[in-house]
Amino acid sequence: MAFSNSAFAYIDPGTGSMVLQMAVAGILAGLFYIKTAWSRIRFFFTNLFSREKDDAKPPAGETGRNSDED
């Protein structure tokens, strides 16, 4: 059992097709992951640097007046 003779076997077209499909799916999944990770990294740094600039400005809608006086 430990040492076997040559097996006269082949890989049928269905198996080759399945292997090709798994390879393509793996590549596409990897590209999607990279895209998602890049978006998260870009979003993090965009928010990080935009907060520093926006700290000096009042939030939108605030003009310094009390809205109850109107």
Q: Write the pLDDT tens digit of every residue in 54-63.
A: 555 555 655 5
Domain membership flag for residue 64: no
For residues 5-30, average pLDDT: 88
- 22: part of which helix (H) or strand (E)? helix 13-54
59 domain residue, yes or no: no
Which structural domain range is residue 48 located in?
A: 25-53
Please report whether residue 44 resides in a domain. yes
pLDDT value, residue 33? 93
Query: Taking the complete model, does pTM exceed 0.85, yes or no?
Result: no
Domain assignment present for residue 47? The answer is yes
Q: How many structural domains is the chain composed of?
A: 1
SS3 69: helix
- Does 20 reside within a domain? no
Q: Has residue 12 been placed in a domain?
A: no
Q: Is residue 45 part of a domain?
A: yes
Q: In Å, what is the CA distance from 21 to each residue of 26, 29, 30, 42? A: 9, 12, 14, 32
Greater model confidence, 51 or 24 = 24
